[in-house]
Structure 1
């Protein structure tokens, strides 16, 4: 059993941080020694020393170099070590550090385990501490989960969702997003490509397209991304992994193959509205004009040519909410907020089976967290009750 030193030394593991008279923070539990070979053990120990030391010294408020209490770090060390061992068993071998998809898979596992709600909540808190370390030291995105567990013993549930009115407002705000490149920013060769696109978009002959027509055509990239997410409830990693071959605008569906689906359980066919299918069709035509998509089959990239992350999607949602006049204070508004709204209203309008298919859940039990009466329906009931 390896225990945590006060210093960040990676060589000598000798000085313990005492939580109380009987406990010290464990860097590598003895059970993990048997799961790792010598090289993996050295690598794992190195990461764990840096992670747990960071929590102790600055983890609570990094900007003020204020760390968590030794007791909190003791608990986090124990819970994250259990997660690590579970992950290696699932992956068939050592992996470190884990990523957000691994954390989400663990939360799915815990959701339907026999563990208490308090235990589930504490495990999630441990992963949030780990995510915080990766975010501040390695520039990783903050981990987001589809639902939250109450560590004090409450039930797990979606953290927030958009109301019907908010969904309409977000859809409208997304329609107002996006521009094609300005005429003056393009080379002569690029203008020829955009001129052809504009002629098709406006239904004008190529030779009749003028410089002024550049101002009459808007971009469809953000609109298609947001509208597809409003229909399909795309997870952040599904936005990141989306490929052009997923899109079937003729039949109005996304076809997500097994090897690229978030949960990797099977092929998924996800319904889209006619509006979204049109937006995707227009985007696929427009997409061919951008250099950042050359030799790439990624459906959406940021303006810098990078895949979308949880953080960039959260910023996009907040920007849309601001434009739509949707209050975000005291709400956890992440990209999952859109997904939660799909689950909530699909369950209300159809049934859990429809929600399971649309949101690509492995089990209908996962869909059951959306089996609740939306807040506006409850408000209507109260008004009728007098």
Structure 2
């Protein structure tokens, strides 16, 4: 016969379970369950509470920021609802594979799940939509938790799966982009213009800098031909800076004398280790010129930010993608049928550094935690494949 204390503990446990079940039954966001029934069946009560909070943050972010975080533009309700359901299935698969509950999902988990899908009997539509759900998950992790974005090597469409390299700049395009950064936004020298021409350029500069035409001075002409854009582009071409790293970059990172960036662990996008990233001497020189010029601008007076937009804000993905497209126009780099974002610069660094110096060098330069992440760049650049075709006859 059970002891009275045992009976009391059993009753308390049953009471807690009943309360927990009632709470979970009401835990949803606009009808999207935080802990769907299949997960309730495999989690204990404390795990359910943790999983619900994890999902709450993800789902709310998806509804309000997911589509374009920089503009606070969320996904449609139905999109988030369906993706949340697919992600729940993914998490349960991870728990089964690892033999334990966790919300610390890794790139390796996602890649393994994609490989499972390749060989599954699921439809191509299901495979493609599941991958979109996982991309939303890592978009949230990158934006809110400062984690490394997931870049799957296996991609799915409604017509099937394929393994293909990410869009990146060729060697020739990298050179042209570097040169375009020197040309972009330049204007004639103040003294070389007639009064009428100077008036026209003042109107243009007033629009660019967001100030009245009457306030445009000779210093603004010098500013228009400054080194902010070249230093930002050239540093990204060497270091493969992610958009978030461009936004976070500090003056204190720059070591001009040794031609490196020194990114402390607490300011890196991975928050794991200090990074020392190599720069070309000419990039270091452009950075030196920008640091001198930067001191002339009032908006930098109370900040260590290396680069700010004309409105005094840190650069973000949208503004950087817009800048890159403008630079591609100047450089006459084709962008049709290409995903031309700031990551195209980073992908080119990974591809060519891997080709020139191997995975270890690319891993260090791109600041990857795992070499497996760098493996996606271990493919022959298009120029080498073209040469191979010519040799093949």
TM class, shorter-length: 0.5 to 0.7
Indicate the residue corresponding to 1:35 in structure 2: 47
Match of 2:252 among 237, 245, 249: 245
Residues 166 and 326, structure 1, Cα contact 8 Å, conserved in 2 = yes
Residues 76 and 126, structure 1, Cα contact 8 Å, conserved in 2 = yes
Indicate the residue corresponding to 2:271 in structure 1: 264
Indicate the residue corresponding to 1:175 in structure 2: 182
- Residue 372 (structure 2) pairs with residue 360 (structure 1): no
Deviation of the 1:226 alpha carbon: 0.6
Indicate the residue corresponding to 1:110 in structure 2: 110
Counterpart CA distance in 2 for 1:148 and 1:237 is 22
Q: Deviations over 1:217-251 (max 9, x none)?
A: 72111110110000001111111111111100100
Q: Given the two structures, how large is their TM-score scaled by the length of structure 1?
A: 0.66
Residues 1:175 and 1:4: Cα distance change in structure 2 (over 3 Å): farther
- Residue 349 (structure 2) pairs with residue 342 (structure 1): yes
Residues 227 and 289, structure 2, Cα contact 8 Å, conserved in 1 = yes
Size of the aligned set, in residue pairs, is: 312
Counterpart CA distance in 2 for 1:311 and 1:54 is 13
Deviation of the 1:346 alpha carbon: 1.0
Q: Secondary structure at the match of 2:304?
A: coil
Counterpart CA distance in 2 for 1:254 and 1:235 is 14
Match of 1:282 among 285, 289, 293: 289
Indicate the residue corresponding to 1:78 in structure 2: 86
Equivalent positions of 1:170-319 (< 5 A) are 170-178=177-185, 215=221, 218-319=225-326
Counterpart CA distance in 1 for 2:88 and 2:273 is 29
Counterpart CA distance in 1 for 2:54 and 2:112 is 32
Indicate the residue corresponding to 1:196 in structure 2: none
Residues 1:43 and 1:144: Cα distance change in structure 2 (over 3 Å): closer
Residues 83 and 106, structure 1, Cα contact 8 Å, conserved in 2 = no
Counterpart CA distance in 1 for 2:116 and 2:317 is 29
Residues 111 and 152, structure 2, Cα contact 8 Å, conserved in 1 = no
Q: Deviations over 1:38-58 (max 9, x none)?
A: 9x9589669848967999xxx
Residues 226 and 290, structure 2, Cα contact 8 Å, conserved in 1 = yes
Match of 2:155 among 132, 140, 150: 150
Q: Given the two structures, how large is their TM-score scaled by the length of structure 2?
A: 0.65
Indicate the residue corresponding to 1:186 in structure 2: none
Residues 253 and 270, structure 1, Cα contact 8 Å, conserved in 2 = yes
Residues 1:151 and 1:106: Cα distance change in structure 2 (over 3 Å): farther
- Residue 170 (structure 2) pairs with residue 163 (structure 1): yes
Counterpart CA distance in 2 for 1:175 and 1:54 is 35
Counterpart CA distance in 1 for 2:112 and 2:302 is 42
Deviation of the 1:285 alpha carbon: 0.9
**Farther-moved stretch of structure 1 (221-230 vs 265-274):** 265-274
Indicate the residue corresponding to 2:207 in structure 1: none
Deviation of the 1:149 alpha carbon: 3.8
- Gaps in structure 1 of 5+ consecutive residues: 14-24, 56-61, 87-93, 96-101, 135-142, 184-210
* RMSD of aligned alpha carbons: 4.5
Q: Deviations over 1:148-183 (max 9, x none)?
A: 542467465542110011101111111123569x99
Structure with the bigger percentage of helix: 2
Residues 87 and 133, structure 2, Cα contact 8 Å, conserved in 1 = yes
